[in-house]
């Protein structure tokens, strides 16, 4: 069993990182508004490589999600974003982002290999630039006279001397500014280990991380002994496997139950908003099994 020390972690979980690509979702908004099909393709085509080769904010490892962990984001460009760890072995996450202009489904599968006492990471993807531009051309690829390059996209600014090398947006989604008023208790925001790293308390972060990992192992033992299968709350596994150059990918589809959750929240008798800081992180399928 390999346990990574918290000193190498940044205060962000993997599910939160999935939401970072929404920093550039304005490209999809603009694409939807474009009447020119070529310009629409241009803007969408710029979003696609950002997804595959997104500029990496931060310089540390990310906290691996606990099975059943979720992440919610609202209050950004009218977007509702929900993601969930749907499988622990292999590690798989699913997510959905949508607003009035687009709906975007995401399934992410991580493939890792430990070699003895070392871990090697091989990034896959194309090299990206800090900006992209377009210019109208003829069928031979020559620019039309009287036209010039126009920028479509540029990499977001990072605050000077930022401790974690996060963009302003990354800081925003890591705070509670984009969290819904009644956050799910399974949300990455609430992880006590992540929270402790953010505040520089590495001793507490290490203890909390070990506690979460042991409780997850206890749940796995109970699930196996009971013959139970884990069922994601917001995404369903669909038939078939998508073959990619890197890995065979099972696809999870959003099940549409999230609005039902919010309808229940909105119709509740609760007065005012819940104090988010009072919510205990709880992605668990069973009760307290940490000592079993």
pLDDT greater than 90 at residue 244:
no
Q: What is the pLDDT of residue 124?
A: 41
Q: What is the pLDDT of residue 45?
A: 83
Q: Who has greater pLDDT, 123 or 252?
A: 252
CB atoms within 10 A of CB 19: 26
- Check if the beta carbon of residue 170 is closer than 8 Å to that of residue 20: yes
Q: Who has greater pLDDT, 38 or 101?
A: 101
- Mean pLDDT computed over 203-223: 94
Long-range contacts of 199-202 (CB under 8 A, 24+ apart): 202/6, 202/7
As a whole number, the mean pLDDT across the chain is 84
Q: Is the peptide bond before 90 cis (omega within 30 degrees of 0)?
A: yes
Q: What is the pLDDT of residue 182?
A: 83
**Percentage of the residues of the chain whose pLDDT score is greater than 70:** 83
Q: What is the pLDDT of residue 131?
A: 84
pLDDT greater than 50 at residue 126:
no
DSSP 8-class letter at 187:
B
Which residue, among 170, 172, 215, 173, has the nearest Cα to 192 in the 3D structure? 215
| Tokens 């979460």, residue located | 212
Q: What is the pLDDT of residue 11?
A: 92
- Confidence label for 122 from pLDDT (cuts 50, 70 and 90): very low
pLDDT tens sequence across 58-112: 567 889 999 999 999 998 888 999 999 999 888 889 999 999 999 999 888 766 5
d(CA 213, CA 192): 12
Q: Who has greater pLDDT, 292 or 226?
A: 226
Q: What is the pLDDT of residue 123?
A: 43
**Where would I find the beta strands (DSSP E) of 188-261?**
235-243, 248-254
pLDDT greater than 50 at residue 44:
yes
| Tokens 């929900």, residue located | 82
pLDDT greater than 80 at residue 290:
no
Counting Cβ atoms within 10 Å, is residue 14 exposed (0-12), middle (13-18) or buried (19+)?
Answer: buried
pLDDT greater than 90 at residue 208:
yes
The token pair at 107 is 């399934």
Four-residue CA torsion sign, 180, 183, 184, 190: positive
* 128-146 as b/e: b if 16+ CB within 10 A: eeeebebeeeeeeeeeeee
Lowest mean pLDDT among 130-144, 231-245, 260-274, 276-290: 260-274
Q: What is the pLDDT of residue 286?
A: 81
DSSP 8-class letter at 57:
-
d(CA 108, CA 93): 5
Which residue, among 25, 40, 45, 58, has the nearest Cα to 171 in the 3D structure? 58
pLDDT greater than 50 at residue 31:
yes
DSSP state string for 107-144: EEE----EETTEE-----S----SEEEE--B-TTSPBP
pLDDT greater than 60 at residue 53:
no
Q: What is the pLDDT of residue 142?
A: 94
């Amino acid at each position: 069993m390999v346990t990574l020390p918290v000193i190498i972690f940044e205060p962000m979980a993997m599910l939160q990182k999935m939401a970072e690509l929404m920093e550039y979702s304005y490209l999809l908004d603009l694409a939807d508004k474009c009447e020119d099909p070529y310009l629409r393709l241009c803007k969408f085509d710029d979003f696609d490589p950002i997804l595959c080769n997104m500029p990496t904010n931060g310089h540390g490892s990310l906290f691996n999600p606990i099975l059943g962990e979720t992440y919610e984001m609202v209050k950004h460009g009218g977007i509702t974003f929900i993601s969930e760890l749907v499988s622990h072995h292999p590690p798989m996450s699913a997510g959905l982002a949508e607003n009035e202009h687009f709906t975007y489904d995401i399934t992410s599968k991580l493939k890792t290999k430990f070699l003895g006492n070392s871990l090697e990471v091989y990034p896959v993807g194309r090299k990206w630039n800090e900006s992209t531009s377009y210019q109208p051309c003829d069928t031979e690829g020559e620019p039309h006279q009287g036209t010039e390059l126009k920028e479509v996209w540029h990499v977001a600014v990072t605050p000077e001397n930022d401790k974690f090398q996060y963009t302003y947006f990354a800081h925003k989604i890591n705070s509670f500014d984009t969290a819904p008023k009644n956050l799910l208790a399974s949300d990455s925001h609430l992880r006590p280990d992540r929270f402790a790293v953010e505040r520089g308390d590495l001793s507490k972060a290490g203890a909390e991380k070990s506690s979460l990992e042991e409780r997850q192992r206890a749940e796995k033992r109970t699930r196996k002994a009971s013959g139970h299968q884990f069922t994601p709350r917001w995404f369903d596994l669909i038939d078939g496997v998508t073959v990619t150059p890197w890995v065979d990918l099972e696809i999870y589809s959003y099940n549409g139950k999230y609005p039902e959750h919010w309808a229940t929240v909105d119709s509740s008798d609760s007065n005012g908003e819940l104090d988010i800081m009072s919510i205990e992180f709880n992605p668990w399928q069973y009760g307290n099994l940490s000592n079993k």
